Chains A and B, each alone.
Chain A
Amino acid sequence: MQGSGLKNRAEKEAFYRGLLRTARALDAGALDAKAADLARRTRRIWLADASLRAEIAAARDEPARGSASRSGGAPAALAPLPAEEAPAFDPFAFSAVVVMSRQGRAGLMQKLGEITDPDQLKQIADAQHLAIDRSLTGLDALREAIVKGAEQRIADRRAAAS
């Protein structure tokens, strides 16, 4: 197995402390307790990025922030984890057919107007099986095409049922 392993309790705690800093719900005392608990429960941590070892070594002797008995300057911190990635776009966040049926053309156009990325509009069309011209690139043209696609699906359903 490639990578680098952390076996030492202090190293494991430092690793978890760095991770848990991004958990805003934890105060300093709870963060330290959680990191200690995780380190105790974990036999070994394999790092995919061996360069993290240097950071962890720097933070290894960092005093627990929640402990009143310790003193010293601001502890060295692990590099913060990347900010939480924005959730992936969900092409099913709303149904174009349902919005069209309940709120009409204007309602669907307004809803589509909240989306300003042409690729996301195309994702909606693909996911919801709305026939559009794939060569379209403009936002207005794509929105109009999706509205027409939804109208077509509704008409198709009514025709099949009659």
Chain B
Amino acid sequence: MAFFLAVANRKGGVGKSTVSVMLAHALAVWGGKRVLMMDLDSQCNASLILIGGQGWSEARKANRTIADYFFDLFDGHSMQPKDYLLHGVGDVAGADGRPARLSLLPGSLLLEDVQGELFLKQAQQSNDPDVVASRVRGRLEQLLRRFEGSFDVVILDCAPGLSFAALAALKIADKVLVPFRPDYVSQLAVDRVALLIEGRRSLADLEDIPIERRRYVCLANYVREANGRERTLIEEIALAHPILDTRLPQRDGIANAFDWVAERRSIEQKYGNAVADVRKLYTELAPMLEKVPA
């Protein structure tokens, strides 16, 4: 059964997609895992990084994106979920030179629109908006879980904000990774997404859950090590939330890695001077991504 890892933050621009792809590469290449990336962000950054503009355009034309998947299967039509997946994606090869075992359900610019349409369709059956919203979320949760028997890790790259798909992802996730930039507004965003994940109303309520038992962990991203202000903010976030020791720096190797190249390279070649950062993140997070046997 797959381990579901949601990568989420209500705030945009914190590096959710880049961290998602970094982990997908590391888990597939170093961990030997069968990894599925589900791109739940209508910006489609994860898809562009993994299959390039042309690949993504082809998926859209073939009506094989996450929006199509949700729309086509919502009412139980007899489409095959596996037909929406692309396999062997990414421009990283394993140690044996073969494509990493990484699959993708491509993102769609229309994801928000489709979610709205599904809501309206369900609203025809009930005029209670809470009931309708619950039905839509519940069905999306089922659809997100559909692949759990075929992969070891499913990474849910969530959009900023709180769409039905993002809420569904947070609900089914075994673990939520919350990347953040060390600045003041990010602190508030982390607080709020943590409350949502744990179903609490205030930081005081959240303290009832021991930090080591929280369902999420935070990751400081775009860190400038010599910056005292950032270091202080990270410490302040860590007062209330579990936080990885790994700090992802602002580094060329990370920024450059997200140009998709039509030729597979080793993960070391792809990440260049950032490969040690990727390794550190993978080494720290991978043990948390094992399912506890029932």
Contact = CB atoms under 8 A, between A and B. Distances in A.
B32 to A, nearest CB: 40
A43 interface: no
Contact of B229 (A92, A160, A161): A92
B204 interface: yes
Contacts of B229: 92, 127-128
A92 B231 contact: yes
B79 interface: no
B228 A157 contact: no
B192 A128 contact: no
B192 to A, nearest CB: 6
Contact of B239 (A91, A98, A128, A161): A98
A158 B200 CA distance: 13
Nearest to A156: B188
B191 A161 contact: yes
Contacts of A161: 188, 191-192, 195, 202-203
A90 B188 CA distance: 26
A6 to B, nearest CB: 34
A91 B228 CA distance: 8
B85 to A, nearest CB: 38
**Main secondary structure on B side of the interface with A:** helix
Contacts of B187: 157
Contacts, number: 43
> How many interface residues does chain A have, given as a range?
10 to 19
Interface in A110-162: 127-129, 157-158, 160-162
Nearest to B185: A160
A92 B203 contact: no
A128 B233 CA distance: 9
A160 B203 CA distance: 10
Contacts of A127: 228-229
22 contacts: A90-B228, A92-B228, A92-B229, A92-B231, A95-B232, A95-B235, A97-B232, A97-B239, A98-B235, A127-B228, A129-B184, A158-B202, A158-B204, A160-B188, A161-B188, A161-B191, A161-B192, A161-B195, A161-B202, A161-B203, A162-B201, A162-B203
Given A92-B231, A160-B191, 14 more contacts: A95-B232, A95-B235, A98-B235, A127-B228, A128-B232, A129-B184, A157-B188, A157-B203, A157-B236, A158-B202, A158-B203, A160-B192, A161-B192, A162-B202
Interface of B: 184, 187-188, 191-192, 195, 201-204, 228-229, 231-232, 235-236, 239
